[in-house]
Every structure is written in C-alpha cells, then in structure tokens.
Amino acid sequence: MDGEAPDPGLLATTPMASVVASDSLEPVFRAEVRRTVRTVRQGDAVIEVVVDIGMLFANGAREAIRELELELMEGSPAALYRFAESIQADIPLLLGAEAKSDRGWRMLTGRPRAAEKAIEPALRPDISGAEAFRRLSGATLASLLANQPAAAAGGVEGVHGMRIAIRRMRALLALFRPHLAPEVEERFTGMLRRLGRVLGEARDWDVFCVQTLPELARTGLDPLVARALLRAAEREREAAHARVGAEFASPALTRTVLGLAAWAEDPAALSGRADGGAMARSLCDLAGPLEKRLRREVRRRGRHIRRRPEEELHDLRKALKKLRYALEFLESLHRHKRLKTYLRHCKDLQERLGALNDAAVAVALAERLALSNEGLGPAVTELRDGAAWRRDAALGGLPAAWRSFKQQSLPKVVAG
C-alpha cells in the first residue's frame, strides 16, 4: 500500500492477481492506533521509540493496544537491550509475542498462532565462540517467544515448545559453561530452571490427560472409573495452566529474555573478561573440548548402569539431552553422516530413559489424584501395574542401548 488507504489494484502486478479479485476484498479485522515516535540516544546507540495506543477490532470483539516498540537505528544491539532493561525495571512491561496481525487472526478464528519449532542457525567454524553463543541464544529465545501465544491459550504443543526452548537454552549455557562468567550463568540457569518447572508441571498433566489416560482406557478399565480419573486430572491440568498464565502475566519471563539477550550481545560481560577470554577464540577451536566434556559427564553418570537407581538414571537422561542438544547446535561443524549416526544412538538411549521417567511421572500424578479422591484407588492400582510393565520393558533394553551408545566415537569437529 502507498499511503494510509490500501490499494487492492496493486495485486494486479503480483501472482495473487489470478486468485483474488480486487473488488471482493474486505477487511476482516482492523486496528485504530495513535502512534507517537521519538528518537533517543543511549551511549553510542540511537534508538527509535514508538508508542502505539489504540484498539483492535475483529469478529465483533475488541482488544486494547498498548505497545512500546524499540528499534536500533545506530550503534550496538547491547545498548538497545540495556535500554529495554532500564525501562522494564521502572515499568513492569511484558514482551509482546503477538504482532497486531497475529492478534487480529486470533480474535477472528479463536486460535492463536501455531506452535513453532526452533530453526537452528548454521554456524561457520571461523566465527568466535561469543558470536556462536549470540546466534544460538537468539534463535532459542525467539523459539521460546514464538510458542508463548499457543502456550498462553492452553495449547499442548505451545507448552511443549516453550519447555523445549528452555531446555535448549539451559543446554547452551551448559555447553559454554567453562568460558562463561560463572555468577551470571548460574543466575540465568536458576531463572530458566524455575520457569521450566512451571511449564513442566503443565506439560506433565497434558501428557497424563491426552496420552496416558486414553491408553489406560483401552486396557479395559471400568469406564466410570476412567471418567472420574479424567475429571480429577483435568482439574489439576487446568490449575497448572493457570499457573503458566500467571507466570506470563508477571515480569519474570521478560526480565529473563531481555537479560539473556543483553548478556549475549556483550562479549566482555558474557565471559567475565574485558578481552572476551576464551569466547574470543574460534568456534572450531572451542567446540571439540566442550563436546568431549559433556560426553564425559554422560559416561560418568551411566557407569554401572544396571545398578543405578531410577533417580540417577533421570540425571543420566538430562546429561544425555545436553550432549544431544550441543551436537545439534554445532551440527554444521561435523560431517553429516557421522553425526546422524551418533545422534541416532543418543536418541535410542534417551527414549528408553524417557520411558522410565514417563512411567514414574504417571504413577506419581495418579497417586496425587487418589489422595483427594478415594474412589480412584482401583484406577491408580491398574495404572501402577501398567507403568511397572513399561518400566521393566525399558530397563530390560537399557544395558544394550548403553553399550551401543558407548561404542560410538564422538564425531570430530571439522574446519570446513
């Protein structure tokens, strides 16, 4: 469009001309906005500050628009994030994960933007460790925010996507941990762990209601008992999602994302050294030792795997995930075929460990329901029996999966 009014005639010069007749177009939602624009200088940076106040109309409903947008015109991105942090410290603003068009379509259709998978940036081996961290953290935080609208609407995949993004961010911190400023890294890891627990509880109840209980119903459980179990579980699920919503309404998520983004943009702050420390070295030099460190942790936690109690097997699973995510982060530094083979063995072992964890979580949730619902005892017993069978099956194949994984050599880092 040229000017304030749309010109449908411009479609004639696009491939859409044969699909849409210009006289058949009509608005499905509209925004009425009063925009204020100012330019501010922060150190070496020039930042455009845009404030939009107005209303969004769609499907007979309306939503208020109260937006503050910051755009870097000149200078370093770190200055932009520091400016955003300073504003957020005074005014508890929340990051907006939905554009006006996303909000309009949600109001029109009743559905938020679909959950999204992370897109991994391809990394050149000659970039610095700090630059690699910046790109990878940026992609991971973008995935976290992209899944927030679906999660806020109670979407199973949205919650799952945000939880994965948090795990990946924590794995990225674990990968570069030897070269990061320790106090700052520990603080962000703690913030992410807390947010992950809130999302993790909602995810556990999602899986219990959507997967575990339907499987239990197919085993022949009394339909009345199955429905009672589902009703009780849905109440817990709803409460868990309400806690997710409360988390999104608090400034904690915004502070975490802005803080991580600002930190990643400042090599000196990232490493805790004015010269950037080891993070100033090439990624190709850093990657091999960092990956080997994570692999050693996996092998240490898996030693004598037959004698490991389940809580220690859970720690092994988490260590294995960090190794797998690290290799996926640095995929472009490895030969594709060799990496694919190694990751296949990682995933096979991870799935068996995951089956153990899923069985334990299902029993714990069912027993929690039974504490306040005496009539659910038979259902809990049946679920416990089924979980024990799945646990035994997973344990039976675990030693072989572990041996197969140990026999694989860690893929070598290649320079190009």
**Mean pLDDT, residues 179-194:** 95
Could you give the number of structural domains in the chain?
2
Nearest Cα to 195, choosing from 205, 185, 203, 207? 203
Q: Which two tokens stand for residue 112?
A: 């938020």
Q: Are 45 and 75 in contact (CB under 8 A)?
A: yes
| Tens of pLDDT, residues 201-224 | 999 999 999 988 888 777 776 777
53: β partners = 34, 66
Q: Which pLDDT band holds residue 21 (cuts at 50, 70, 90)?
A: low
- Domain extent, residue 398, equals 125-406
Contact (Cβ atoms closer than 8 angstroms) between residue 225 and residue 376: yes
Q: Is 378 helix (H, G, I), strand (E, B) or coil?
A: helix
* pLDDT computed for residue 199 by the predictor: 98
If asked whether residues 129 and 202 sit together in one domain, one would say: yes
* 36 within a domain of the structure (yes/no): yes
180, part of any domain: yes
SS3 114: coil
Structure tokens at 80: 């932009």
> Cα–Cα distances in Å, from 210 out to 157, 216, 274, 308, 381?
12, 11, 51, 31, 20
Residue among 254, 206, 259 nearest 230 (CA): 206
E strand map for 25-163: 29-42, 45-58, 61-74
Q: Do residues 101 and 169 both lie within one domain?
A: no
Last-in-domain residue among 71, 89, 111: 111
* 240 plus 310 within the same structural domain: yes
Does the pLDDT at position 299 exceed 90? yes
- In terms of domains, do 212 and 357 share one? yes
The pLDDT assigned to 161 comes to 95
pLDDT(1) > 60: no
**Average pLDDT, integer, range 370-376:** 81
Q: Looking at the domain assignment, is residue 24 inside a domain?
A: no
Give the model's confidence band at 401: pLDDT under 50 very low, under 70 low, under 90 confident, else very high: very high
Do 213 and 269 have their domain in common?
A: yes
Q: What angle do CA 300, 303, 306 make, to 5 degrees?
A: 150
pLDDT in tens, 154-182: 999 999 999 999 999 999 999 999 999 99
Q: In the structure encoding, which two tokens stand for residue 377, read together?
A: 């005892």
Contacts of 129 (CB under 8 A, 6+ apart): 176, 179, 278, 279, 280, 281, 282, 283, 286
One domain for residues 91 and 221: no
CB 400, CB 269: distance < 8 Å: no
**What mean pLDDT is reported for the chain?**
90
What is the model's pTM? 0.91
Q: Are residues 151 and 99 in the same domain?
A: no
Residue with tokens 């995951």: 354
Task: Answer whether residue 2 is part of any domain.
Answer: no
